[in-house]
Amino acid sequence: PVAAAVYSLTRRAMDGVRALLESIAWAVYGGFAHLVTAADRHRARAVLHEILALRLGAACVCGAVVLAVNEPFVPLLFGPENFGGIWLTAGFAAQMIVGGQTFLANYLFRAAGRVREGSILLAAEAMARVGAVLAGLTIAGLAGAPWMAVGVTSVALVVTLRRLERELPPSGTPPGRPTAGGWLAPYLVFMFGLTIAIMRVPASWAWFISTAAAVMAFGAAVFWWLLPRSVVEGSLMRWLRT
């Protein structure tokens, strides 16, 4: 019971962030489903990359913020005995980033018409993840569970993205894939949050708020400059810049 409480309360903030980020999937499903059957469906590949980049950037920034301030957050609300440690929090952050990205890719895969295949992939991932979590708990305790789940979900993400890419027509313009710096952006933001967590933010609301604001500003700046821009900017990027 004690371990279950620690596990649940340590991931409480991360669950809230993931629920918020999943609104991106709900928002784009209808438009993407229409686009892949429209006359200008050649734009679908570029739009897909914009959606994935937007969600990845938001998830990494939010994950880094929670990772950096979860140690003071949990003790302030629930008591220090209910905090599961930095590496458990880091595992939850990685799981939120990768798992949410996989869900979004699968959701768009089903929007492209592959409802049955997408559902099978979701079910297979869920079953494999249960086994991975149990193995992680056995091998490394609480902290091992989310990290093993990240491994399974990463494989599911690669498989889903490859199948989704095959469903989309060739793009008439370069899809705006990440540059070398763009590929490093998620790791840079995540490691910044982890570094702050290792430095141990004091358990006070003033430190909590100031640290969260600093990490969010750093992450937003990194992704603004390093994430890819399409040669012909799509509506998402134009909206963000207005």
Q: What is the pLDDT of residues 199-235, one digit of tens each?
A: 988 889 999 999 999 999 998 888 777 665 543 445 4
**Whole-structure pTM value:** 0.86
Check pLDDT > 80 for residue 19. Answer: yes
For the chain, the 3-state helix, strand and coil shares in percent, each to the nearest 5, are 80, 0, 20
Contact 190, 94 (CB under 8 A): yes
Contact 74, 221 (CB under 8 A): no
Question: What is the sign of the dihedral through the CA atoms of 144, 55, 201 and 194?
Answer: positive
Contact 117, 164 (CB under 8 A): no
Rounded CA-CA distance 119/113 in Å is 11
Both structure tokens of 241: 């810049």
Q: At 38, which amino acid appears?
A: A
| pLDDT at residue 225, as a whole number | 75
Q: What is the pLDDT of residues 162-176, one digit of tens each?
A: 999 998 887 655 544
Contact 61, 220 (CB under 8 A): yes
Q: At 215, which amino acid appears?
A: V
**Contacts with 145 (C-beta within 8 Å, 6 or more apart), sequence order:** 7, 91, 133, 136, 137
Select from 236, 242, 229, 195 the least CA-distant residue to 86.
195
Average pLDDT estimate for 189-200: 92
